[in-house]
A and B are shown apart, each in its own frame.
Chain A
Amino acid sequence: GNSVTQMEGPVTLSEEAFLTINCTYTATGYPSLFWYVQYPGEGLQLLLKATKADDKGSNKGFEATYRKETTSFHLEKGSVQVSDSAVYFCALRGATGSQGNLIFGKGTKLSVKP
């Protein structure tokens, strides 16, 4: 079945460091891919998405490229800030039999120190 695997956290970085959170997926067909962010005690917010191969999603300095050849959608940011501390979830939607529901990874907690 469809699944998402993302790197385990927690990830601790200093401010202005480079961030990569790896995400790979297994799916039949051509899913849409998403990154969501969850701040403490809150619901999820959409960070970025890509709906076809080679698309790059970007928002707030974050970006991720849909790589079908490696079934990956890694999240990157060139210079993190303390305010980026949150849990990041990779998710996919679509592909055969999913009824359009989101399949989530387990989340990666990011802590950014001043």
Chain B
Amino acid sequence: DGGITQSPKYLFRKEGQNVTLSCEQNLNHDAMYWYRQDPGQGLRLIYYSQIVNDFQKGDIAEGYSVSREKKESFPLTVTSAQKNPTAFYLCASSISAGDTDTQYFGPGTRLTVL
């Protein structure tokens, strides 16, 4: 079955530590995205990548970093510079970055900073 996997489902981190969230897709999609979801809020875009070895900042990139070395993988690192990292993180992908292309989402990772 094709789809998007995110791991782990739950993640706990101590303050001051960096942590990396995994996102893998086997849909052969060019574009991938990371969103952050806070309670009662819509999703906000952190980073996106339209093609391998290229990525751009979204609306709330500060304190986060990404890489896109392979088409199927788009890991997100939450650094210690992120002031309020506790949130639900969602990864998505689409065939391309075209306006009509549907984005498909993974199941999410819930990060809690202790």
Contacts and interface: CB of A to CB of B under 8 A. Distances in A.
Interface of A: 4, 31-32, 34, 36, 42-46, 49, 51, 89, 93-95, 98-102, 104-107
A102 B48 CA distance: 11
A100 B103 CA distance: 10
B101 interface: yes
B42 A94 contact: no
Nearest to A105: B42
Given A31-B99, A51-B100, A43 B31 contact: no
Interface residues of B, number: 30
A99 B90 contact: no
B43 A102 contact: yes
A89 B35 CA distance: 14
Contact of B58 (A36, A89, A101): A101
A44 B90 contact: yes
A106 B106 contact: no
